[in-house]
Chain A
Amino acid sequence: MRFFRILYHWLVPHEGNNHRAKALHHDALFAYVLLLCVFNLGIRYFHGKAPDVLGYAIDIRVEQLLAATNAQREAAGLPPLKLDNTLSAAAAAKASDMFAHNYWAHNSPLGKTPWDFIISSGYQYTLAGENLAKNFQTSDGVVSAWMNSPTHKANIVKSGYKDVGFAIVNGVLNGEETTLVVQMFGATNAAPVAQIPKAQAAAPAPVASPEVALEEPITVVPAEPAAINDEPKSEPAIALLPSFMSNTAFERVVASPKVNIPGLTNTMAIIVVGVLIGLLAVDAFVVSKHRVVRLTGHNMAHILFLGTIIVSGLMISRGSLI
């Protein structure tokens, strides 16, 4: 009985709680702020201590990326791209360079362009392009995000490309745990025009602007595509990789922590906002029914605001593209 009295006091406005549910008083609202801060900091702390227990569930694999990319090309009426080992080696070298020099851009702070990595890998391109993605959780999520970006989509459905290479790497970029996906496109027998992908043109270029890159002389090598594609010419790029990584290390990133952070935070946010909206709705109903005049905020406005925040917040994705 006492339990129900306490519950009534906390959840329903009446004379005893100054006609405002106790759970909506200032001290209670302040306690929610503090508890959410503790929850937020706790996740950061435990993720740092035990990422295998509390971490990000990731399942990104080259074969899935290739299948999803080719499915999009097929839907656009284009022939599929062939997975090319030299382009994959170039992508792996690019990913390693990004972690080594701590940058998130198409061109490195030292002025290296994507084309430098492709040439170093031994792929003699006549047309090339690059898509980058970080912090997505699934292969389909990566390709969907690329397809939702007009500039990245233009690369995926460009008819001139024949080959594609991928690298998927986990590491620390700008102090943040990052899963990087590098997708490099190429053609060796296309028209001898170097084309800078729009995806790169839209990206911040610390050293060389896309216009500068356009002026770069491109050596056109009339090579047989089969000779280029079928021979794994990965030696030059592997030489650029850190010693602890092998080429196969770039083919997939799979992580299955016991607790997935996005799932946990989404659930927590939905519960908190759901409870608050419920409390505000009950409060508004009871006060309106009893025609109580009091000095408080506008319950319906709070409900609309919190509803907007949760809908917007659930749209947040760690994944980003350039």
Chain B
Amino acid sequence: MKNGAFLHTIVLFTILFGGAFTFWFARGNTALQLAIGVVTTIAYVAWGIIHHSLKGDLHRKVVIEYVLVGLIAIVLLTTLAL
């Protein structure tokens, strides 16, 4: 399980650093940056579901929590793009 947790953390960091780096790379193109933000959010929600599923504590409540946090992120990004 320790190895599994380490792998999950590595995958999470890859998603987040990858998202932030491509976001920076797309500077000057707001539409592309928003698309990258949405893709990063979807990847994060997927990571959460897979992580909890492998941990054995996946529940509908957990999925809804990840989706709501993802929605907050997307609305924040569209607000910052105004």
A residues at B contact (CB < 8 Å): 26, 29-30, 32-33, 36-37, 39-40, 43-44, 145, 149, 261-262, 265-266, 268-269, 272-273, 276, 295-298, 301-302, 304-306, 308-321
Q: How far is the CB of B56 from chain A (nearest CB, A)?
A: 11
Known: A301-B48, A305-B73. A320 touches B30 (CB 8 A): yes
Q: B61 touching A26 by the CB < 8 A rule? A: yes
Known: A297-B62, A315-B27. A36 touches B76 (CB 8 A): yes
Interface residues of B in 38-82 (CB under 8 A from A): 40-41, 44, 47-48, 51-52, 57, 59, 61-62, 64-66, 68-69, 71-73, 75-82
Q: Which residues of A contact B12 (CB under 8 A)?
A: 301, 304
Q: B69 touching A316 by the CB < 8 A rule? A: no
B residues at A contact (CB < 8 Å): 12-13, 16-17, 19-20, 23-24, 27-30, 33, 37, 40-41, 44, 47-48, 51-52, 57, 59, 61-62, 64-66, 68-69, 71-73, 75-82
Q: Which residues of B contact A308 (CB under 8 A)?
A: 16-17, 19-20, 40
- Interface centre among B24, B62, B75, B76, by most chain A C-beta atoms within 10 angstroms, is B76
Q: Which residues of B contact A149 (CB under 8 A)?
A: 28
Known: A297-B48, A321-B28. A306 touches B73 (CB 8 A): yes
Q: Which residues of A contact B41 (CB under 8 A)?
A: 309
Q: A312 touching B20 by the CB < 8 A rule? A: yes
Q: Which residues of A contact B13 (CB under 8 A)?
A: 304
